[in-house]
Amino acid sequence: MTGRERIRAVIAGELPDRVPVAVLATEHQATVANVPLGDLYTDPDKAITAWKKTLEVYEGVDMAFAPETGIGYLAPFPDSHSSWFFRWVLPSVGSNEIPQMIEEPIISGDEYPLLRERGLLYFLRPDRPDMDTFLARVAKLGKRQKEIEKILDDKQLWNYASSVISVATDLLANFRGLQGYLTDFIDRPDELMKTAQWLQPSMIKAGLEVNIFNNPDNTVAIGANRCSPTYLSPAMFRKFIEPLFRNVLNAVLEAGRTPVLHLDGNWTPLASWFLEMPPHRMIFHLDDMNDIHAWKKALNGHSALMGNVPASLLSHSTPQKVTEFCKKLIAEVGDGGGFVLCNACSMPIDAKVENVRTMIETAHKYGRY
């Protein structure tokens, strides 16, 4: 089977020939290509070269990720990662500093009506990226589109996502700062939710219509963190977040797309909530705060799981310990199918290449069905 066939089988609830394996490399591509991360953020050619190099070094993976490190931070896109609206400090040329958001309240609790009335463009940051530089980058990516598509086609890799839709409360958490956002659920829930409901349809529209490359797997990443049970109780999730989340999922499914749920924070207490969604239509990429074994039990074959090899293990441990950890995931979470072995969230820049290779080799060696 090809990587694409393997992962399509996993999502469809069918048994592939072995456990698929994936590396969401993001910033780690700089380490693989031996180029400072900041260079990938400022030079699209270097970014694409690093992406190609990463696919070569990690030969044997079944999945490809977006071929443009940093574009999510650099685009004026309605998402919590956009440096057009939020104070993201991005690496400069020659630097290996990873992107960091300076979390500070932008609006007060009384200014939700102002946000709705004036719209997001009223909040364009003074230190936003340069528009012409951004447009030139998009044009460069467009020029190399055919080359990228050929690589993906030749390798027959399944594509993680070409676009993203976040739950709107994640964006509002950035506008209010974490403390203000959380207390707003108590102090002014109506204003918070009215604003989230105003934002969400546009965020869905943008996510469905704007794709950074031609994606034959029709996938869309759904991002959610600040509405996870790490911050809100399951009861609060049901009361406030469920309608938003359901709208996002339904919109993606109705568009005939495959949701890739990139869930940061510990979503384990809500795993069974997802049983209310149609089976065999989506895949959950879990970070290492989740108990993926409890997820496996809760979903019981309803949907596919991906993850959750911890960042700390890949950065600071040994190939032997990586093998042990991955063998356990393969044996227990991979039992009967429905599992893709992958790093939790995104790969840390300082992950050891030998550890990542070991993760891939473990899937090939011990993941056969």
Partner 1 sequence: MSETREKLLKKLEELNFYHAQLAENKSEKEIQEIIRKLERDREIIKNIYKLEIFK
Would you count residue 106 as binding partner 1 (CB under 8 A)? yes
Task: Indicate which single residue of 98, 206, 208, 253 sits in contact with partner 1 (rule: CB under 8 A).
Answer: 206
Of the ranges 121-129, 216-224, 284-292, 313-321, which one interacts with partner 1 (CB under 8 A)? 121-129
Torsion (CA) 306, 310, 315, 321 in degrees, nearest 10: -100
Would you count residue 76 as binding partner 1 (CB under 8 A)? yes
- Return the structure tokens found at 164: 């993203």
What does the DSSP assignment read for 26-93?
TTHHHHHHT--HHHHHH-HHHHHHHHHHHHHHTTT-SEE--S-TTHHHHS--SSTT-TTTS-EEPPPT
Using DSSP's 3-state secondary structure scheme, residue 361 falls into: helix
Would you count residue 177 as binding partner 1 (CB under 8 A)? no
Q: Whole-angstrom Cα distance, residue 72 to residue 91?
A: 14
Q: Indicate the DSSP class of residue 20.
A: -
Minimum CB separation of residue 181 from partner 1 in Å reads: 18
Minimum CB separation of residue 174 from partner 1 in Å reads: 14
Task: Indicate which single residue of 125, 293, 327, 365 sits in contact with partner 1 (rule: CB under 8 A).
Answer: 125
Would you count residue 15 as binding partner 1 (CB under 8 A)? no
Number of residues near partner 1 (by CB under 8 A): 26
Would you count residue 136 as binding partner 1 (CB under 8 A)? no
Would you count residue 123 as binding partner 1 (CB under 8 A)? yes
Would you count residue 255 as binding partner 1 (CB under 8 A)? no
Helix (H) or strand (E) holding 314, with range, is helix 311-316
Task: Indicate which single residue of 131, 136, 275, 294 sits in contact with partner 1 (rule: CB under 8 A).
Answer: 131
Minimum CB separation of residue 186 from partner 1 in Å reads: 26
Phi, psi of 125 (to 5 degrees): -75, 145
Q: Which is nearer to partner 1, 5 or 111 (CB)?
A: 111
Task: Indicate which single residue of 45, 108, 118, 133 sits in contact with partner 1 (rule: CB under 8 A).
Answer: 118
Of the ranges 58-66, 97-105, 203-211, 301-309, which one interacts with partner 1 (CB under 8 A)? 203-211
C-beta separation of 137 from 175 below 8 A = no
Task: Indicate which single residue of 56, 59, 104, 121 sits in contact with partner 1 (rule: CB under 8 A).
Answer: 121
Q: Which is nearer to partner 1, 121 or 186 (CB)?
A: 121
Q: Whole-angstrom Cα distance, residue 144 to residue 350?
A: 28
Phi, psi of 221 (to 5 degrees): -80, 135
Residues that bind partner 1 (CB under 8 A): 76-78, 84, 106, 118-126, 128, 131, 135, 198-199, 201-203, 205-206, 209-210
